[in-house]
Amino acid sequence: DADVTQTPRNRITKTGKRIMLECSQTKGHDRMYWYRQDPGLGLRLIYYSFDVKDINKGEISDGYSVSRQAQAKFSLSLESAIPNQTALYFCATSDFGTSATDTQYFGPGTRLTVL
């Protein structure tokens, strides 16, 4: 089974709808991240969480919110989706306090289309 899972894998929605993307991990990592990937722009950080009580904005947090329900779960919400939020979204995790603290492990991605 995959260590980092994302649901749904694909989603098509309409402008103005509220959407939630979910991420779960079995790696036991404290840190979790949400990125979006757009062609030619690489990955950009939306939000990150270093533990259940710690949530931080990334470089492009406007229009998004997150919830860290447990160590293993980190959800991304689009309160009112707009077409320029059409992108591939990735969740990632990293460990804390080990030599691999800065290595991130990615889920398979969610392809979101906003019409």
Partner 1 sequence: GNSVTQMEGPVTLSEEAFLTINCTYTATGYPSLFWYVQYPGEGLQLLLKATKADDKGSNKGFEATYRKETTSFHLEKGSVQVSDSAVYFCALGGSNYKLTFGKGTLLTVNP
User: Which residues lie near partner 1 (CB under 8 A)?
Assistant: 4, 31, 33, 40-45, 48, 58, 90, 92, 94, 101-109
**Nearest-approach distance from CB 63 to partner 1, in angstroms:** 20
Residue whose CB is less far from partner 1, 43 or 52: 43
The answer to whether 105 and 3 are in contact (CB under 8 A) is yes
Residue closer to partner 1 by CB (options 19, 92) is 92
We find the least distance from the C-beta atom of residue 111 to partner 1, in angstroms, to be: 10
Question: 68-94 in b/e burial notation, b at 16+ Cβ within 10 A?
Answer: beebbebbbebeebeeebbbebbbbbb
Looking at the Cβ atoms of 40 and 70, the one nearer to partner 1 is: 40
